[in-house]
Amino acid sequence: MKAMLLAAGRGERMGPLTAELPKPLLTVGERTLIERHVARLAAGGIVDVVVNLSYRGAQIRAALGDGGRFGARIAYSEEGEPPLETAGGIIHALRLLGPGPFLLVNADVLTDFDPATLSAAPESTLVLVPNPPHNARGDFGLDADGYVSQQGPLLTYGGIAKLDPELFAGLLPGRRPLKPVLDAAIERRRLKGLRYDGRWLDVGTPERLAAARALRWD
């Protein structure tokens, strides 16, 4: 199974921290956010990784190289400017991801979740986490059969998923958000959910980056 790391965004909420540096290259401890993901994927046996690039993408490419020092093989999906948003970036990268299900990971989340857990999932699956203060209303619920629903109690999408390329069939290239794709899959009962109660942070603001740096991750 391959994985895709979403690393193309500008990270505007980070303010001056990302004026000269892409958000995935911000450090927590001794490693950058994206290095942590590549290393964790490789440790879980997921060695083929696609990274999408847009804002200051050359810096990410220079930092990761071919992935060999992590035990991984990295391919890059160049989007140009502006970035294609999440679904648009996935569609652009499908040629590199191949025909089978793939893992999707936001490069700006920090977690001890083992991505290999999703390898055995039989269907497209979202990882859902308890609602953090910045998303108190949540995103999605889970029904009695473990399928993602639009009804409560709601949890937060954790930026980690296993997705079947079929979910993107017929969608044209270009800028496109992911949520309408997920909503359509929910309507067809094509999307399972997995609740994770372990360590998880969305490193989306300077304050949350500071909170992440205050914790021990290594």
Give the whole-angstrom CA distance, residue 189 versus residue 120.
19
Mean pLDDT of 185-210: 96
Q: Is the pLDDT of residue 218 over 80?
A: no
Candidates 14, 10, 5; CA nearest to 106 is 5
Mean pLDDT of 160-184: 96
Looking at residue 207, its pLDDT comes to 96
- Tens of pLDDT along 97-125? 999 999 999 999 999 999 889 988 888 99
Q: How many domains does the structure of the chain reveal?
A: 1
Whether 34 and 24 have beta carbons less than 8 Å apart is answered as yes
Q: Rounded to 5 degrees, what are φ and ψ at 44? A: -90, 10
- Tens of pLDDT along 114-169? 988 998 888 899 999 999 999 999 999 999 999 999 998 999 999 999 999 999 99
Q: Within a domain: residue 10?
A: yes
Looking at residue 122, its pLDDT comes to 80
Give the whole-angstrom CA distance, residue 17 versus residue 14.
6
Q: Is the pLDDT of residue 204 over 80?
A: yes
Give the whole-angstrom CA distance, residue 27 versus residue 25.
6
Q: Is the pLDDT of residue 202 over 90?
A: yes
Looking at residue 152, its pLDDT comes to 82
**Over the chain, what is the mean pLDDT?**
95
Composition of the chain by helix, strand, coil, percent to 5:
35, 25, 40
Q: Within a domain: residue 43?
A: yes
Whether 101 and 126 have beta carbons less than 8 Å apart is answered as no
Range of the domain at 85: 2-213
* Vertex 93: Cα angle to 77 and 18 (nearest 5): 45
- Tens of pLDDT along 47-103? 999 999 999 999 999 999 999 999 999 999 999 999 999 999 999 999 999 999 999
Residue 183: give its domain's CATH number.
Answer: 3.90.550.10
- Tens of pLDDT along 17-30? 999 999 999 999 99
Give the whole-angstrom CA distance, residue 76 versus residue 51.
5
Give the whole-angstrom CA distance, residue 172 versus residue 8.
19
Looking at residue 124, its pLDDT comes to 97
Q: Within a domain: residue 218?
A: no
Mean pLDDT of 32-44: 96
Q: Rounded to 5 degrees, what are φ and ψ at 45? A: 85, 5
Q: Rounded to 5 degrees, what are φ and ψ at 76? A: -115, 135
Q: Within a domain: residue 145?
A: yes
Looking at residue 73, its pLDDT comes to 98
Q: Within a domain: residue 79?
A: yes
